[in-house]
Chain A
Amino acid sequence: MLEIRDLHASINGKEILKGVNLTVRDGEVHALMGQNGAGKSTLSNIIVGHPAYEVTEGSIIFNGQDLLAMAPEERAHAGIFLSFQQPVEIPGVSMNNFMRAALNAKRKAQGLDPIPATEFLKLMRERRKIVELDSKLANRSVNEGFSGGEKKRNEIFQMAMLEPTFAILDETDSGLDVDALRIVAEGFNKLRKPETSALVITHYQRLLDYLRPDIIHVLIGGQIVHTGGPEVATMIEQGGFDQFINPTPNPQK
């Protein structure tokens, strides 16, 4: 599905990623863990094509396509979705109009006609339930005046509407209370299919307890320094990230 090779990237001339290699196969959920500033969000921003980041070396192949040559909207049409760490408020644009524009743009790229109005409203109703979002949401402006938890649930709701094949969850658990975290995680699990994959960025094990990733990567200093199974999350919870910085961890620590 997604193949990242020797990726180097910088922002404002400062190199953040220094040779990242990562392969995600169909149906896999990967987690990416690491300290603040390690480059986790940079990596997710580059995958979705944020214009502020510059790729200086390396490649990303998504289902055989050269992802780095595609515009952000083309990547979205190809099936890539980012649940933003800080969802943007867009005053004056209603969730309804926003979702309709997004859905129809994707349909257009697939050569389909715009979705009929009744079908669209039905879809909105159905998918809203997955993350228990209020029905008033449709007429509210995108993320405007939403609580932190509502914003994150709204991200998963949009994911449910757009049905991506590869989703990135960038610290979707940050700022959530236990109940909201459960709703978001369960919502995500409901959307999982054998052919969809995800990359989950988080600091904490709690979200991973729900999502049960197949593979966990540790990103430190712009490189993936360790890759393993679910046990890596426990190692981090107990021993912090230092054990990966120092290749021979001190068991007394």
Chain B
Amino acid sequence: MDVTTPSPRRGQGEGVQYIELYAECREMINSHAAPLLNEPREKAYEDFCRLGLPTQKLERYKYTNVAESFAPDYGLNLRHIDIPVSPYKTFRCDVPNLSTSLYFVVNDRFYDKVLPNAPLPEGVLVMSLAEACVKYPHLIEGKYGRLARSSKDGLNALNTMFCQDGLFVYVPQNTIVERPLQIINILRSDVDLMVNRRVLIVVEDGAEVKLLFCDHAIDDHQFLATQISEVYVGENAHLELYELEETHVKSHRFSNMYVDQQRNSTTTIDSLTLHNGLTRNRTDVTLSGEYAETRMFGCVIADKKQHVDNNTLIDHRMPNCQSTELYKYVLDEEAVGAFAGRVLVREGAQKTTSQETNANLVATDTARMYTQPMLEIYADDVKCSHGSTVGQLNNEALFYMRQRGIPLDEARMLLKFAFVGEVLDSITLEPLRDRLRYLVEKRFRGLLSKCEGCKLCK
């Protein structure tokens, strides 16, 4: 594969090789991307020169060494060379009842050679971001880069510098998309690869949509994927967004998601990490209108030396909003988990209700969990709670089950499954919930040790 590789320089500040790469390749990058994506590039470059890659000295990056993930020599496909793959063949969906409109994003490119047959409601767009920038610039302008500011986060800056494509989802006013949209992100390459993907989701006033993202890696190479998502949820709009990661141990994922919610809107974000190498998910939700509601769930199952770091912020800017957050981790072997969740209730955000819970099961002496729930309140009439627990499997329960004849391994599995069950129950899409229960059980039984294509579909 013809790819561009940054020359590694270490000890000169974090991420210098990416500054050099950009300086060398800016024209090539621009010539294979849309003008709207090129516009903020130089500003992002300046920001990245100033910020560099985030270090662990930054509060929000305390638990993950970013530079280490970015140090290896990855190739970048900046010339937009077609990578041979036929996802519809590889990922034939035969899950009963999980009828979704199925789309693929291969690395950072939207796959448009074959598209689902079922028509979308009028005006709804699910397409390449680059193409949308050309065809529907008025829908992108003022939205791209507004929530994910390159001046605030080195990863935002880096992604904006290199971003050439990604996904655009648009649901116009008062439009209800009944059929869930399923987007499968495939990492596919013949060499170690870095991917900078961008996602823009616009759900206009009164619109409703359910999105399911499945992340997979189908080749036995090192992958580093950055994904920056900006999500706009209008007044009275409803969004359910599920993210399932099922990659492999050589896959590193850095995702920053920014959600803005207007008045009376509801959003559910469910993030499930079933299999990975290193994952860092940052999710920032801003409640910009009154009576908005956010529900955030996370489920992490990690073993070996897997690393999963979820870092969240719920920003209550207006009164009468509600947020709930529940993250559960099951860590085995030498896995490392981190959860840092900040709930910020700003001055004047009266009648806020907020509940934040992080519960963790650490099954071995060698696995580690860092948990940091944070509640910051500047209003005086609110109802907020936060808490976290770290524990082991209940030995008395294990013995009780064994006395009934259930073998130890099975008993452990049942207890772990019960532990994360609460998160799976939050999934309102019933076929998805059943499918995930099945996948989680397989994962606990050790039958999901590597990604063999989309387990959700096969």
User: Which residues does A use to contact B, with CB under 8 Å?
Assistant: 48-51, 71-73, 75-77, 81-82, 84, 87-93, 97-98, 101-103, 105-106, 109, 141, 158, 162
B-chain residues with CB within 8 Å of residue A77 when the two chains form the complex? 405
State A93–B396 Cα separation when bound (angstroms).
Answer: 14
B397-455 contacts to A, CB under 8 A, are 397, 399-408, 410, 414-415, 417-419, 421-422
Q: How many residues of B contact A (CB 8 A)?
A: 22
Given A50-B399, A105-B410, verify A90-B415 contact (CB < 8 Å).
yes
Count of inter-chain pairs, beta carbons less than 8 A = 75
Q: Quick check: A72 and B402 within 8 Å, CB to CB?
A: yes
Q: Quick check: A88 and B396 within 8 Å, CB to CB?
A: yes
Q: Quick check: A72 and B418 within 8 Å, CB to CB?
A: no
Question: Given A51-B399, A92-B421, list of 10 further CB < 8 A pairs?
Answer: A72-B399, A72-B402, A73-B402, A76-B403, A90-B400, A92-B417, A93-B415, A98-B414, A103-B405, A162-B405
Q: Quick check: A105 and B406 within 8 Å, CB to CB?
A: yes
Q: Quick check: B407 and A105 within 8 Å, CB to CB?
A: yes
Given A92-B421, A93-B415, verify A73-B400 contact (CB < 8 Å).
no
State A77–B406 Cα separation when bound (angstroms).
Answer: 9
Within the complex, the shortest CB–CB distance from A94 to chain B, in Å, comes to 9
Chain B CB count within 10 A is highest, among A50, A71, A82, A93, for A93
- Which residue of the partner chain A has the closest CB to B405? A76
Q: Quick check: B401 and A98 within 8 Å, CB to CB?
A: yes
15 A–B contacts, CB within 8 A, in A order: A51-B395, A51-B399, A73-B406, A76-B403, A88-B394, A88-B396, A88-B400, A91-B418, A92-B415, A92-B422, A97-B414, A102-B404, A102-B406, A105-B405, A141-B418
Q: Quick check: A88 and B405 within 8 Å, CB to CB?
A: no
B-chain residues with CB within 8 Å of residue A76 when the two chains form the complex? 402-405
A-chain residues with CB within 8 Å of residue B421 when the two chains form the complex? 92
Q: Quick check: A87 and B400 within 8 Å, CB to CB?
A: yes
A-chain residues with CB within 8 Å of residue B408 when the two chains form the complex? 71, 73
A50, A106, A141: the one within 8 Å of B405 (CB): A106
- Which residue of the partner chain A has the closest CB to B416? A92
B-chain residues with CB within 8 Å of residue A97 when the two chains form the complex? 414
A-chain residues with CB within 8 Å of residue B400 when the two chains form the complex? 84, 87-88, 90
User: Which residues does B use to contact A, with CB under 8 Å?
Assistant: 394-397, 399-408, 410, 414-415, 417-419, 421-422
Chain A CB count within 10 A is highest, among B394, B402, B410, B422, for B402
Within the complex, the shortest CB–CB distance from B318 to chain A, in Å, comes to 36
State A93–B420 Cα separation when bound (angstroms).
Answer: 11
State A245–B291 Cα separation when bound (angstroms).
Answer: 73
Within the complex, the shortest CB–CB distance from A201 to chain B, in Å, comes to 15
Within the complex, the shortest CB–CB distance from B167 to chain A, in Å, comes to 35
State A109–B395 Cα separation when bound (angstroms).
Answer: 23
A-chain residues with CB within 8 Å of residue B394 when the two chains form the complex? 88, 90
Within the complex, the shortest CB–CB distance from A43 to chain B, in Å, comes to 15
Q: Quick check: A48 and B403 within 8 Å, CB to CB?
A: yes
- Which residue of the partner chain A has the closest CB to B404? A102
Rank and list the top 5 A-B pairs by shortest CB-CB distance, nearest first: A92-B418, A76-B405, A102-B404, A72-B402, A88-B400
Within the complex, the shortest CB–CB distance from A117 to chain B, in Å, comes to 15
State A93–B418 Cα separation when bound (angstroms).
Answer: 6
A-chain residues with CB within 8 Å of residue B403 when the two chains form the complex? 48-49, 72-73, 75-76, 81-82, 84
State A90–B406 Cα separation when bound (angstroms).
Answer: 14
B-chain residues with CB within 8 Å of residue A75 when the two chains form the complex? 403
State A103–B401 Cα separation when bound (angstroms).
Answer: 11
State A88–B411 Cα separation when bound (angstroms).
Answer: 14
State A105–B401 Cα separation when bound (angstroms).
Answer: 11
Within the complex, the shortest CB–CB distance from A111 to chain B, in Å, comes to 14
Q: Quick check: B410 and A93 within 8 Å, CB to CB?
A: no
Within the complex, the shortest CB–CB distance from A48 to chain B, in Å, comes to 5
Chain A CB count within 10 A is highest, among B396, B402, B403, B421, for B403
Q: Quick check: A73 and B405 within 8 Å, CB to CB?
A: yes
A-chain residues with CB within 8 Å of residue B397 when the two chains form the complex? 88-90
- Which residue of the partner chain A has the closest CB to B421? A92
Within the complex, the shortest CB–CB distance from B424 to chain A, in Å, comes to 10
State A50–B400 Cα separation when bound (angstroms).
Answer: 9
Given A73-B405, A105-B406, verify A90-B399 contact (CB < 8 Å).
no
State A87–B401 Cα separation when bound (angstroms).
Answer: 11
B-chain residues with CB within 8 Å of residue A105 when the two chains form the complex? 405-407, 410
- Which residue of the partner chain A has the closest CB to B407? A73
Within the complex, the shortest CB–CB distance from A226 to chain B, in Å, comes to 29
Within the complex, the shortest CB–CB distance from A5 to chain B, in Å, comes to 23
State A49–B405 Cα separation when bound (angstroms).
Answer: 12
Chain B CB count within 10 A is highest, among A77, A88, A141, for A88
Q: Quick check: A101 and B414 within 8 Å, CB to CB?
A: yes
A-chain residues with CB within 8 Å of residue B404 when the two chains form the complex? 76, 98, 102, 158, 162
A71, A87, A92: the one within 8 Å of B419 (CB): A92
